[in-house]
Structure 1
Amino acid sequence: MSTRPHGYARYRLDGCRCYVCGYAVAQYNDAREHAIRRGTWQPFVDAAPVREHLLRLRACSLGLRSIAAAAQVDRKRLQAILTSRTDHGIGPQEQVRPALAAAVLRVEPTLDNLGGATPIDATGTHRRLTALISGGWPQAHLAPRIGMTEGNFGATLTRPKVLVRTARAARTVYDDLWCADPRKHGVGAQAYSRARRHALAREWAPVGAWDDDTIDDPAAFPDWTGQCGTPAGYTAHRRLGGPACQPCRNARAAA
């Protein structure tokens, strides 16, 4: 018994002649005839861009099984695009259906689909963890939450790359604690103040300075004052009692 959902594929591949499958075929044929009359019928597209994209994804440590799951296609169809089908004496598939190409090209490497041991840029992890420290969370409290010792935690803040599993853990901790008061979660007053002074001395931006859309962007700067990057931002920094950020220093110099 086929587990394929009722529709065009089940009609063609499994011989199902139910109403749903028949209607799907009728719709397909009607759309095909209209496209042929308009001169827009394109049953296949070049597989080369799809193959190049698959190779880029695999270079990011994404396996074919994970890519197929993200694109919601059969893994064997991706394998045929990538490798020579020696059993049949032919090379990789040169043409694919447009829907398959579009589905694969939409897949991008993310924290959710990369392997846990994949090294990635540490920018977002550093910013999330240092923002929490700026908010009064001591490293000794944060380290166990991401599965580290305090020593390893400090070293992580200086490394250019982290493993995906570390980045995921840091993201989870940040989402859980960004608006929490450390003093209401077991952090003493001295440890709280020490963490804030430690962050201020290193000019680590607080949670409110980062936007969710830019916190992972290495080219982005934190907006400490709501006016950063303008001459007024420099003055706002002085009112807050902290050093001016680089965009504010640049804006003041330009003015």
Structure 2
Amino acid sequence: MRADRTAAAPVLQHVRYLIAQRPHLPVAAIARHAGVASSTLKSLLGDTRHGPGEERTVSPAVARRLLSLQLADLPCRERGYGGRSTDAAPAMEHVRALLAAHPALSQAAIARAAGMSPSTLAAALHDVAAGTPRRIQQAAAQQLLALDPHRFSAAAAARRRDTMELRPVIDHLHALQLRYDRASCAFIARTAGVNPSTLACALLDHSRNPRRGIHTAVGRRILALDELPAPACPRRTQVTDTGLLRRLRALCAAGWTLKDIGAAGSISVKTLTSFSARHHPRGTPAMCGAVLAAWEELSHRPGPSTAARRRARAKGWAPPLAWDNETIDDPSVSPSGIRNPSHQPPWNPDLLHHELRFLTRLGLSKAQALKRLGLGTQRAHRILTRPTRYYSRGCPLSG
């Protein structure tokens, strides 16, 4: 055995004793209280490479730290979560009296003043009110009992100067949610640069006590927000399930895959697939907001997927240019400018010139316009160069 190493057998025996006495305590917690890396202790306990004639060794510093760790140093369920603990009932009664006498105070402020986490204080208040035995750290209980109500009242009044009335902020939140689909409080908070939990806590405190306000900086950020970005979009009460399905299919006909549409609308491909596969689809508010957001972003430009465009053409789905925003949600309206793919009437030069001028004015190149019309370059050239007498009949604009 090396001079700078020591036998691990006594250390292992002591650690296994601690584990047996605290079976619900993780090994990482024992290592943390001993000041040892958890990987070191786990390796020490699980090392099976040494045979009967070999002896496992550890460094003297690790052995000293583990051997000096006593059972009383470890957390115990009956004694709370830290060495010395006491009954929580007297401290919780004092906290309850403070909250009743000073409605402007919050549980979080009292917890911070006592050096506790708000969740720990809330759990202790709940257990004591329910009659469940509860113990907390003795230091925290002493700090709670030592809180001065008059000093707390002055501190609350001083903080009140940094707050504003919450009612205008709540009214503005509700107005945004009425104007926009998919506008949750968390989404509005993130857009305004506010922590969503800060806004949620302010709304919860206001519901318990209408006199509670909100920090001025937070309230002003919310009030300054007039427009919301995607995936929220202006609410349209006239949107129908038929219109949503038409928009989804039109985007596919324009060359966008469901993955592209889901990314633009912040919705999963599985949800879009389930909606489009139903015989009588029913759109949820989330589906409505996602499809409308994707429609606003993608409908004015062609997509990159030739396969999506080919599948949509085979199924007879109309592209975005075939629909008007005013009539796309009307089930009785049919798309305009669509030909039956199974029966293409003969072309003539005048009609083809008319179609090409129309599509190029919309921003398509000549090659894109010919692809939209289902014509190749050579066939279009033959149509445009043949004399008009070869065409005895015209081609209607819709089939």
TM bucket, shorter chain: 0.3 to 0.5
- Which is bigger in relative contact order (C-alpha 8 A, separation at least 6)? 1
| TM-score, length basis structure 1 | 0.38
| TM-score, length basis structure 2 | 0.28
Larger Cα Rg: Structure 1 or Structure 2? 2
